[in-house]
């Protein structure tokens, strides 16, 4: 693995940046970084690793001549004043996707890609490998892998597990998909669905990006592909690398069956070429997480881990931060938070919640993420909340990479949702939404926040006031 003396992270609080910063720290690098002063889901883990972000972005933050400066695309990318100062000083400056590829050099890469599920699936692979004694390195874009207590690790083993992102390297400046900078031995593609309309003009362009990524897998490697997804199926015939498929389809090499829920667990069976591999269980809900688990299991088996050991390790996986994360319980009211921001993710998460809490009132508070996504997927958003008892939509969380659009807002979204869900309302401000829900919640209510913005912050109010 590539090692550096001093690494500075511009935008260190981002989930992917934090994971890589921890890898660098555990390698023995001196790690510095900067970001805005707001609290992030990564704030606690950065503190745990004794990494204190400098407030704001300014050229004076580049001190000590770091031999690598890693830049996020969330705060101007290469236009950020710190990136500009580092380049002017002749320092090595890389965007996060490029840096991740650098850190993986010398290791056997395992890259988990897909429109949905890649964070959880990558975390499952890391969890299984760690508990099988392989001590892999890993960098997963979440605040924390619960069972491993961190989102990143510099292991002594041969493998490096990463979440592979299809988004662009540097918005507005470098359109290269970030996962093009990776050269994995093993890759997973969980599914492909249209997203990131600010980066991809259509679904075909997105499919082509995944195809190009998959073609990077060598002949002695493996692609693990979700065959239930028609867009994944469409690219498989163009690939020459070894492929194993998973899903509920009878055509899957590893078929999932008999999914059930009970006692806070998800149960399912796996069949491979008519051989029943037995029953597996998870402590996180949802059919979608059963598919993530099977994908992670295939990768682990390919690396030589026995199916019995895989079964044991999956049973102890505790999920990740902001993925159906149980935040707390107060006066009989349960609070969950989830990163879901695409209609498919919302639908799957609500179905999982309903499966675990079939008779409870489920209140979903959704904060739409980006104007471009809300506009492009309006039709899909309108239909994805059916499993919630009540839906509250807050104002759109804008991305720093786009400007607000006057013709799209959350009130318009609510009008569309109301065509399919009569109990959907607009409450723009998070504080007002918290007051409304808090005053109505009764023992037994499940409150689930969703979104890729800062909606998770609402739980501090709930847990202190209700």
The 10s digit of each residue's pLDDT in 278-315 is: 999 999 999 999 999 999 999 999 999 999 999 999 99
**pLDDT (0 to 100) of residue 310:** 98
List, for residues 346-392, the tens digit of each pLDDT value: 999 999 999 999 999 999 999 999 999 999 999 999 999 999 999 99
Region 169-185: mean pLDDT is: 96
Confidence of residue 435 (pLDDT cuts 50, 70, 90): confident
**pLDDT (0 to 100) of residue 465:** 66
**pLDDT (0 to 100) of residue 259:** 94
Q: How does DSSP classify residue 53?
A: P
pLDDT above 70 for 152: yes
Q: What is the spatial distance between Cα 120 and Cα 317, in angstroms, rounded to a whole number?
A: 10
CA dist 200 to 180, 230, 238, 376, Å?
Answer: 15, 18, 21, 11
**pLDDT (0 to 100) of residue 322:** 85
pLDDT above 70 for 100: yes
**pLDDT (0 to 100) of residue 441:** 87
Q: What is the spatial distance between Cα 188 and Cα 184, in angstroms, rounded to a whole number?
A: 10
Q: Between helices 287-302 and 307-315, what is the axis angle to 10°?
A: 140
Confidence of residue 231 (pLDDT cuts 50, 70, 90): very high
Region 192-203: mean pLDDT is: 92
**pLDDT (0 to 100) of residue 462:** 79
Question: Number of helices (H) and strands (E), helices first, in the chain?
Answer: 15, 23
**pLDDT (0 to 100) of residue 38:** 87
Considering the entire predicted model, what is its pTM?
0.91
pLDDT above 80 for 466: no
Region 318-328: mean pLDDT is: 89
- Domains in the chain, CATH or no CATH each: 6-95 (3.40.50.720), 107-315 (3.40.1190.10), 325-465 (3.90.190.20)
Region 85-101: mean pLDDT is: 97
pLDDT above 80 for 195: yes
Confidence of residue 67 (pLDDT cuts 50, 70, 90): very high
**β-pair partners for 36:** none
**pLDDT (0 to 100) of residue 166:** 96
Region 7-28: mean pLDDT is: 97
Scanning 237-332, the segments in alpha helix (DSSP H) are: 287-302, 307-315
Q: Are 401 and 171 in contact (CB under 8 A)?
A: yes
Q: How confident is the prediction for the chain on average, in pLDDT?
A: 94
pLDDT above 90 for 103: yes
**pLDDT (0 to 100) of residue 242:** 97
């Amino acid at each position: 693995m590539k090692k550096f003396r001093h690494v500075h992270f511009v935008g260190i609080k981002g989930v992917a940046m934090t994971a890589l910063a921890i890898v660098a720290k555990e390698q023995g690098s001196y790690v510095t970084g900067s970001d805005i002063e707001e609290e992030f889901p990564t704030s606690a883990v950065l503190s745990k690793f004794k990494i204190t972000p400098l407030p704001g972005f300014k050229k004076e933050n580049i001190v000590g001549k770091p031999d690598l400066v890693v830049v996020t695309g969330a705060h101007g990318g290469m236009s950020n004043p710190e990136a500009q100062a580092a380049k002017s000083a002749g320092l090595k400056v890389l965007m996060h996707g490029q840096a991740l590829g650098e850190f993986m050099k010398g290791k056997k890469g395992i890259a988990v890609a897909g429109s949905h599920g890649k964070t959880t699936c990558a975390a499952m692979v890391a969890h299984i490998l760690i508990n099988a004694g392989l001590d892999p390195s890993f960098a997963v874009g979440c605040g924390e892998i619960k069972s491993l207590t961190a989102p990143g690790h510099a292991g002594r083993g041969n493998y490096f597990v990463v979440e592979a992102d299809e988004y662009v390297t540097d918005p507005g400046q470098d359109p290269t998909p970030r996962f093009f900078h990776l050269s994995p031995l093993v890759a997973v593609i969980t599914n492909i669905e249209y997203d990131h309309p600010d980066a991809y003009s259509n679904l075909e362009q997105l499919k082509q990006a995944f195809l190009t990524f998959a073609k990077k897998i060598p002949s002695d490697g493996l692609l693990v592909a979700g065959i239930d997804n028609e867009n994944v199926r469409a690219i498989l015939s163009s690939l020459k690398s070894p492929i194993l498929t998973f899903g509920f389809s009878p055509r899957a090499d590893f078929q999932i069956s008999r999914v059930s829920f009970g006692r806070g667990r998800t149960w399912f069976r796996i069949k491979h070429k008519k051989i029943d591999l037995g029953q597996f269980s998870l402590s996180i809900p949802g059919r979608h997480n059963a598919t993530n688990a099977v994908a992670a299991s295939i990768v682990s088996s390919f690396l030589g881990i026995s199916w019995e050991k895989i079964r044991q390790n999956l049973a102890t996986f505790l999920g990740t931060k902001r993925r159906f994360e149980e935040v707390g319980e107060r006066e009989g009211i349960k609070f969950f938070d989830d990163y879901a921001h695409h209609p498919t993710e919302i639908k799957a998460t609500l179905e999982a919640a309903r499966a675990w809490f079939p008779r409870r009132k489920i209140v979903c508070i959704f904060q739409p993420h980006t104007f471009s996504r809300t506009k492009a997927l309006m039709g899909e958003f309108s239909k994805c909340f059916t499993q919630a008892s009540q839906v509250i939509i807050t104002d759109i969380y804008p991305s720093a990479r786009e400007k607000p659009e006057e013709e799209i807002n959350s009130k318009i979204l609510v009008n569309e949702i109301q065509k399919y869900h009569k109990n959907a309302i607009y409450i723009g401000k998070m504080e007002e939404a918290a007051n409304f829900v808090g005053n109505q919640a009764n023992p037994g209510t499940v409150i689930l926040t969703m979104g890729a913005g800062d909606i998770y912050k609402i739980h501090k109010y709930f847990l202190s006031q209700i």
